[in-house]
Chain A
Amino acid sequence: MTERAEQGGPETASPSRSGARQASPGRVRLKRAGLLLLRTFGSLAVTFLGLLIITFLIGRVLPIDPVLAAVGDRAPADVYDRVYHEMGLHLPLYQQFFDYVVKIFQGDFGTSVLTSRPVLDDIVRVFPATLELATIATILGVLLGVPMGVLAAVHRGRWPDHCVRVLGLFGYSLPVFWLGLVGLLLFYMKLDWVGGPGRLDAAMEDFFEPVTGLILVDALLQGDMEVFWNAVSHITLPAALLAYFSLAYIARMTRSFMLEQLAQEYVLTARVKGVSEARVIWRHALGNVMVPLITVIALSYAHLLEGSVLTETVFAWPGLGSYITSSLLNADMNAVLGGTIIVGGVFIGINLLSDLLYRLFDPRARR
């Protein structure tokens, strides 16, 4: 999708205006866009390879004895030898790495010791829960954080600015897992306003048949409003918590971008022309801020997919984060490294996407 979008501009523009004269600069631009795309994907590939090197080192080289970790210390010598050869540990390191990369690309992340199922299947099963949480949190964070940042920049040095500053400072200083516990104590145990840990009440979980894994979507599709509202009450607290951290970051960045734009001369020009203040702020200045803001939002989204490790643990949210932690506590290395690769891959992918979106939306970056 991004590929078409990248190349679409010059391609459609030049032939329609017609003429061989126009075609050649168009082709140069097309070539440049292609080169750019190639370079972006090249660096993406190198980064992903680096990720695999790290997980490979962690999985195969750092532990004192990976065989012992797999068979346990009471295994007889012949079992040990068999597993040693099965794991390919007699091969040279570079060959082991090559086999590892091939397996990863075939989608073979090994088998989880804990669930005795392929790690990839497990991850596919738990990922929607994380995705649901992070997406709602990001939407909330953007809807609240951007206006707050704008207001802080416009009323610089007065109370909206101080509010945003304090919110940001708290966001950078509060332990997320602690805030989650306090939230549970207050809003679930004492006030009973929201649902407790988990995605649904235990009684409902047994009867509910997931389709996409996104419970809110599934419930709506099946028209089951009881399940839907139950899921909403469960997701409110963790989503609000994550949204707070993403809001603090987005508001802070929006504020500093806006300050930069409001000091520009075009803002002065617009004001002199008699454009209303609201239009200057929300249309002219914010319009220019939106482009760098895309990167910030993407980064915060990617961080939510990561930062939710602690949140998911606190709220017993059966997502990728709790999967990685519970595997970790059970010394299930395949699952941990598989999860790491997926999270790292998602992280890299979101970065790439934000890079491409940036190029797409900012006419200056296209040149």
Chain B
Amino acid sequence: MNKPMTGTATAPQGLRGWLRTDTPQSRFQARMGRLWFGWLTFRRNRLAMLGLSIVLLLCAVALFAPLLAPYNPVQGVLNDRLQAGSAAHWFGTDNMGRDILSRLIYGARYTLMVVVLVAITAAPIGLLVGTVAGYFGGWVDTALMRVTDIFLAFPKLILALAFVAALGPGLENAVLAIALTSWPPYARLARAETLTVRKADYIAAARLQGLSHARLIVGHIMPMCTSSLIVRVTLDMAGIILTAAGLGFLGLGAQPPLPEWGAMISEGRQFLLNQWWVATVPGLAIFVVSLGFNLLGDGLRDVLDPRAGGNG
């Protein structure tokens, strides 16, 4: 069975051949090979590639902000306030004479920070709650899912507002509030995935070998949930960005001197009529980045989770 396959597949040698072999020598090689084939599928989707480029661009801009930004994002030149776009200031300046392009470039850092922080706090919480509930079942399941439902029954933004009100405005608290309100869907998802594998033979085999509950959950159940969770988190990132920007706009997220995009829109509001660019340009940045995450998420879903109705 090996012969005819290798005849066509191993034509290119080297790294590509190593990735495409159907007789992997190690677990690592098999995993890399699977990733490679996933990438090949992903690459065919042009919109998803566009999304990926936008997200990569965001990361690059955030990383190299000090090198890319032509001006100081926090200190402006008051003589140059509220200027329209020109060769010196591509997107014009705001009411403090700060270059809007530079502020956008630095703002990418805050956007990325919010997204990453929420993702690495909310997703593990949801994963843990969901897998534990699904694995043990019974009253543990009932209790945990009840708590999840309560959080789910809440309007997200209002709950985040209430949290921020109690904790005080600021970027860190906004992140915390968003994370506290966005884990329940992940818990639901992880529980559903757990229920499908809970009765599988490999779980029973691992248990017979004497694996503890904790190791079983972490080592054998959680990996089964990750791909659908990654898709869901990516699709949610646009929503997280919009919520964070909304909190910033209401004055409850990042505080004024920081060049956070939502706060920039809020600051530019009063100059909307005559200096429209101050408020509208940051909104375009938010839109482009959210669109990037949405496109990327759609593409990832088609690759990792084809069951979930790929054409949506």
Contacts and interface: CB of A to CB of B under 8 A. Distances in A.
B265 A177 contact: yes
A233 B309 CA distance: 41
Contacts of B165: 58, 328, 331, 333, 336
A178 B149 contact: no
Contacts of B159: 54, 340, 344
Given A51-B150, A175-B286, A313 B250 contact: yes
Interface string B155-189: 11111011111110000000000000000000000
Interface in A127-184: 156, 169-170, 172-179, 181-182, 184
B294 A172 contact: yes
Interface string A33-56: 000000000010011001100110
Contacts of B166: 58-59, 62-63, 333
Interface centre among B147, B242, B295 (most CB of A within 10 A): B242
Given A47-B149, A252-B312, A340 B158 contact: yes
B157 A306 contact: yes
B262 A175 contact: yes
Given A51-B150, A175-B262, A306-B157, A169 B291 contact: yes
A178 B265 contact: yes
Interface residues of B, number: 46
B290 A325 contact: no
B163 A309 contact: no
Contacts of B164: 328
B36 interface: no
B283 A348 contact: no
Nearest to A302: B155
A328 B162 CA distance: 8
A347 interface: yes
Interface residues of A, number: 52
B251 A306 contact: no
B293 to A, nearest CB: 8
Contacts of A101: none
Contact of A343 (B155, B283, B311): B155
B162 A337 contact: yes
Contacts of A337: 162
A248 to B, nearest CB: 12
B302 to A, nearest CB: 14
Nearest to B156: A306
Contacts, number: 143
A256 B309 CA distance: 9
A237 interface: no
B286 A51 contact: no
B269 interface: yes
B153 A172 contact: no
A306 B251 CA distance: 18
Given A175-B245, A310-B246, A347 B272 contact: no
Contacts of A303: 155
B290 A340 contact: no
Given A182-B283, A306-B156, A336-B161, A62 B294 contact: no
A310 B290 contact: no
B34 interface: no
B154 interface: yes
A252 B298 CA distance: 14
Interface in A313-367: 313, 324-325, 328-329, 331, 333, 336-337, 339-340, 343-344, 347-348, 351
Nearest to A305: B155
A189 B252 CA distance: 28
Nearest to B245: A175
Contacts of B242: 173, 175-176
Contacts of B158: 306, 309, 324, 339-340, 343-344
Sorted nearest first, the 10 A-B pairs with minimum C-beta distance are A50-B150, A178-B283, A306-B155, A173-B290, A62-B166, A173-B291, A58-B166, A340-B162, A328-B165, A47-B153
14 contacts: A58-B163, A62-B166, A63-B166, A156-B311, A172-B290, A178-B279, A178-B280, A182-B283, A306-B155, A306-B156, A306-B158, A309-B157, A329-B250, A337-B162
Interface of B: 146-147, 149-150, 153-159, 161-167, 238-239, 242, 245-246, 249-252, 262, 265, 269, 272-273, 276, 279-280, 282-283, 286-287, 290-291, 294-295, 309, 311-312
